[in-house]
Amino acid sequence: MPNDKNEANKRLIEKMNDLEKDYGQKFSNTQKILLTTDGSITAILDVLYGKISLFTLDQHFGTADADHAKLVNVNEGDEINFREVIMHKGAKPLIYAISHVPLGRCSEEICSDLLRADIPIGRILKNYKIESRREVNNIFIEKPDEKLQDLFKTDEDFLARDYVIINNDEILMWIKEMFPVSYFTEI
């Protein structure tokens, strides 16, 4: 078969390869899929584990400091919804995620769903048929803080990625997802 060259996902593949090289460890297929998918990971976890649950650890409104403003491309002082959730199967935590959503870019209905606990962002986008695209910014290793150590009962390294959901050419959401490096290694 002739090779019509496809390099559209090269950036993602390179990010995965670079991380494996830097960390000195090969990652499993499931870990790679979770870190690179341009869709929602909720559906993937659901397929892998059956019914999973979402628990909102915290959600509040606040003003963007310089770092937040840069992540979602707003001005310092703009209002942002900060949300912190954990997806789990029974008693086992699976993935921790934080999101920043600039309120100026949210419709009233999205803002209201963000306020209601335990609705995944992918589901909110689907419910309101929000046309969007996703861009993975970084795939990396991060040391867990005390909160993550406590939630996952481990002090091992975490695999992480951060990405943005873009709507109307503006960042609607910035999301970071993390899980321990020993998770999802079976396949």
Partner 1 sequence: MKQKGTILQNELRERIHNMEAGEGVTLSKLQKILLSIQGPVTTILDVLHGNVNMFIIDQHVENAEKSVAELLDIEIDDEIFYREVILHKNGRPLCYSQSYIPLSRCSDEVTEDLLNKRLTTGNIMDYRHIETVREISNIDIEKITPLLQDLFKTDADLIVREYNMKHKKKIVVHTKEAFPISYFTEM
Residues near partner 1 (CB under 8 A): 1-10, 12-13, 16, 29-30, 32-33, 36-40, 42-44, 46-48, 50-56, 86, 88, 90-93, 117-120, 123, 125-126, 129-133, 151, 166-169, 187
Residue 61 CB, nearest distance to partner 1 (Å)? 21
Residue 87 CB, nearest distance to partner 1 (Å)? 8
Q: What's the rounded Cα separation, in Å, for the pair 120 and 105?
A: 18
If 0-12 CB within 10 Å is exposed, 13-18 middle and 19+ buried, where does residue 169 land? exposed
Tokens 């695209």 found at: 133
Residue 52 CB, nearest distance to partner 1 (Å)? 6
Q: What's the rounded Cα separation, in Å, for the pair 120 and 113?
A: 9
3-class DSSP state of 171? strand
Nearer to partner 1, 65 or 118 (CB): 118
| Torsion from C-alpha of 40, 44, 46, 47, nearest 10 degrees | 150
Nearer to partner 1, 64 or 101 (CB): 101
Residue 103 CB, nearest distance to partner 1 (Å)? 20
Q: What's the rounded Cα separation, in Å, for the pair 94 and 165?
A: 22
**β-bridge mates for residue 160, sequence order:** 140, 178
Q: What's the rounded Cα separation, in Å, for the pair 136 and 177?
A: 11
Q: What's the rounded Cα separation, in Å, for the pair 140 and 57?
A: 23
As given in the structure block, the two tokens for residue 130 are: 């929000």
Nearer to partner 1, 50 or 66 (CB): 50
Residue 89 CB, nearest distance to partner 1 (Å)? 10
Nearer to partner 1, 1 or 66 (CB): 1
Nearer to partner 1, 81 or 167 (CB): 167
Nearer to partner 1, 6 or 67 (CB): 6
Residue 129 CB, nearest distance to partner 1 (Å)? 5
